Structure 1
Amino acid sequence: MVKKFYLLSIVSVLLLVLVPAKEAFASTQEKLLDVSKQYIGVPYSFGGSTPHGFDCSGYTSYVFNEMGISIPRTTLTQWEVGSSVSRSDLQVGDLVFFKNTYRAGISHVGIYVGNNDFISATSSRGIAIVSMSSNYWGPRYVGAKRVSNFNVANSNESGSNESDWFTDLSKKHAAYEAIKLMTDEEIINGYTDGTFRPDDSITREQAAAIMNRHLNLEASGSTGFSDVSPGERFYEDVSAIQNAGIIKGFPDGSFKPKKEMTRTEMALIVARAFGLENHPVSDRDQIYQDINENTNYFHQMSLMNAIDRTGVYNTSNFDGQSDASRMDFSVAVYNGIETTE
């Protein structure tokens, strides 16, 4: 009888210990995601290890320290700790490593957050979530290390409609995948406060810079524009795009770099940039109700619908004289890339 009571007591104690432990695993993983994501948008700072500015290993060591886990400070020393994990077995919280970024060999580290994405300190966007399969990061992936088990069973890999990319862009948004790819490839960037601001207008100089990040054309001599001078932020992009005949100036010799780009202008430069000026469009006489075959640049505007992969341009009107938004331009360039690759 005494033995039976003793065994029951042990079982009771184990239940009291084990059940809260299971709950602790779940809350630990949720905490890791919360802690890591709260710094999205914090700027990159070489040698930085505080919320005022992070480099890649400074960020990972800071987040893990917040979780009560001590790891070394540098990327190379972090590579030396924990157990190796195959890519197919990655769990939320694993450290993922990349090579040949700003130096030869292992040079970048981030934290795996699920869905083939990782969060890290990037030089262009600060703390950001990016895809491990992007054209930039995919070929540079080296391996992963697990320094703590954050309970993959409760991984946040569900179909949440919340966007891990930007706070103002839901996964339900028609442009989400296009903008995700464009930012992942660093063709267009978001803002340091974690927003994308999809409805903001885009200027002519910004459009030139974004287009040239994909085309990677070299500047060639002077632009000839009276209002674009060497040394200005987007001078080389404007020069390269102008010399390629993609964006043109105005009769008075100006470029008007700060002027908002219209949706018609956007359609023109996308058609030119991707060589789609003779691309077939719908057999319908009128895709958009506010333009017809007698409208200037009818083909280029109709093209935005013909090459659209997102549904963003499946609308009743084209509104060619309205300002092109960051979303409009991102999707148009994305569609051009997808159509020509």
Structure 2
Amino acid sequence: MKKFKKILVSGLASILLMTAAPAVLPEEMNMKAEVQAATIGEAMVEYGKKFMGVPYVFGGTTPSGFDCSGFTQYVYKHAAGISIPRTTDQQYKVGTSVSKSDLQPGDLVFFKNTYRKGISHVGIYAGNNMVLNATSSKGIALVSLSNSYWGPKYAGAKRVAEYVDGFKDVAESAPTHEAIMTLTDKGVIQGFDDFTFRPDEPVTRGQAAAIINRVLGIEPKVMSHFKDVPKSYRFAVDIAAIREAGIINGFPDKTFRPNEYMSRTEMAVIVQNAFDLKLGNAAAASNPYAEVKQDFWAYEPIVTMSAIDKTGIFKTEKYYGDHRATREVFTTAIYNAMNAK
């Protein structure tokens, strides 16, 4: 059984380089300043612990009062965006069965013969042999699986969060999965606090500067250059660094336009510059893109994207250079460049 993949679930404001749109940047998302690493299961447990002491209410599904399945349904939904059925017996029918020895935080733990015969109670495994659940005596509380009451009534466990080895919107079978997870593990790029990566969202020039400099680690000599990038701007250091390195230049009017989206053609040029990629004669002769002619100004950078591709995402008949560069495409281009020989 897979183990839960560690991802950052809070405090992404300090490290999240790419956002839903340039008008909504990380610092504006009301996230906590402190970065905490946790698995999805651990995040659900920590979220659920906030309700400890909330009274037990039969039929309760809100923080004013929970019953056992109302509590698990609420935590799964609000902490991880996972929808599970309302009742205990319905919840027992979903997910994958796991052995007691393989329990991991976030797993649903079921008990039998409590107030009625059969499966009658559910909680969330919290680690260290403890279960977070709605008890009739103490409300939301932690109980031990070795407890003289709960222990003999243990009936089994289910793992519902099957997408945990990555992001909800990046399938393991996706050709870009390894690229996205590798850069996530390295702290180069992160997902969002709803456990999504949002692969189809576009990348801005400012975000591109930041993510590239997170790999290269260049320290600029001069901070102020572009009139639309004040020293206080969140990516000012990165923009200054990649300008001095000749990776992304500004415009004749002394602007950088950090919130403008970049095209896939611009991305290819930037990535080639950043990683000093060279296109050999053999690779040049095998240009797969019919619409990219040899006299095109960005011919070599574009063909290089295919030549160094390890994922298959650039092994296509068309390059679509005028399309926006997405988080998925940009991340994969960086991954390929980092691993180019």
Q: Indicate the TM-score class for this superposition, using the shorter chain for normalisation.
A: 0.5 to 0.7
2:271 maps to which residue? 270
Contact 1:163 1:170 in 2 (8 A): no
Give the corresponding residue for 2:245.
Answer: 244
Residues 229 and 256 of structure 2 are in contact (CA less than 8 Å); yes or no, is this contact kept in structure 1? yes
Q: Hey, what does 1:300 align to over in structure 2?
A: 301
User: How far is 1:223 from its partner?
Assistant: 4.5
Provide the aligned length of Structure 1 versus Structure 2: 228
RMSD of aligned residue pairs (Cα, Å): 4.1
Q: Which residue of 1 aligns with 2:212?
A: 211
**Other-structure match for 2:139:** none
Displacement of 1:148 in angstroms is 4.2
The alpha-carbon deviation at position 286 of structure 1 amounts to 3.5
Aligned-pair CA distance for 1:92:
5.8
Give the whole-Å Cα distance in 1 for the aligned partners of 2:327 and 2:279: 26
Between Structure 1 and Structure 2, which shows a larger proportion of helix residues? 1
With over 3 angstroms needed to count, the CA separation of the structure-2 counterparts of 1:255 and 1:180, relative to structure 1, is same
Q: Deviations over 1:42-92 (max 9, x none)?
A: 4479xxxxxx979569969848979x9xxxxxxxxxxxxxxxxxxxxx966
Q: Does 1:317 align with 2:285?
A: no
Report what 2:222 is aligned to. 221
Distance 1:229 1:205, change over 3 A: same
Letter in 1 for 2:292: I
Give the structure 1 partner of residue 74 of structure 2.
none
> Deviation at 1:155?
10
Verify the 8 A CA contact 1:279 1:303 in the aligned structure 2. Answer: no
Identity percentage of aligned residues:
32
* Distance of 1:44 and 1:215 partners within structure 2: 21
Partners of 2:275 and 2:300 in 1: how far apart?
Answer: 14
For the 8 Å contact 1:202–1:323, the answer to whether it is kept is yes
Aligned counterparts of 1:269 and 1:295: Cα–Cα separation in 2: 16
TM-score scaled to structure 2, two decimals? 0.56
Gaps of 5+ in 2: 14-30, 53-100, 108-126, 131-144, 146-156
**Aligned partner letter, 1:255:** F
* 1:201 partner letter: P
Q: Is the 8 A contact 1:91 1:112 kept in 2?
A: no
Tell me the residue number matched to 1:130: none
- Residue in structure 2 matched with residue 134 of structure 1 by the alignment: none
Cα distance, 1:61–1:232 mapped onto 2, change above 3 Å? same
Once the 2 structures are TM-superposed, how far is the Cα of residue 195 of structure 1 from its aligned partner?
1.1
- Structure 2 distance, partners of 1:44, 1:335, is 25
Stretches of structure 1 lacking an aligned partner (at least 5 in a row): 1-28, 46-51, 69-89, 94-110, 114-145
Please name the residue that 1:187 is paired with: 188
**8 Å contact from structure 2 (residues 206, 258) kept in 1:** yes
Counterpart-to-counterpart distance in 2, 1:228 and 1:63:
38
Give the equivalent residue in structure 2 for 1:200. Answer: 201
Q: Distance in 1 between matches of 2:180 and 2:228?
A: 31
Mapped contact 1:285–1:293 kept (Cα < 8 A): no
Cα distance in 2 for partners of 1:235, 1:289 equals 38
Residue type of the alignment partner of 1:218? E
Aligned to 2:9: 41
Rounded to whole Å, the distance in 2 between the matches of 1:280 and 1:168 is 38
Which residue in the other structure is 1:253 paired with? 254
- Counterparts of residues 41-190 of structure 1 (less than 5 Å): 41-43=9-11, 55=36, 62=46, 93=104, 147-148=128-129, 162=163, 164-190=165-191
- Per-residue deviation, residues 288-315 of structure 1 (Å, max 9, x unmatched): 0111111111011000000000001011
- CA deviation vs aligned residue, 1:193-248 (integer Å, no higher than 9, x gap): 21111111100000000001111111221342121110110000001111111111
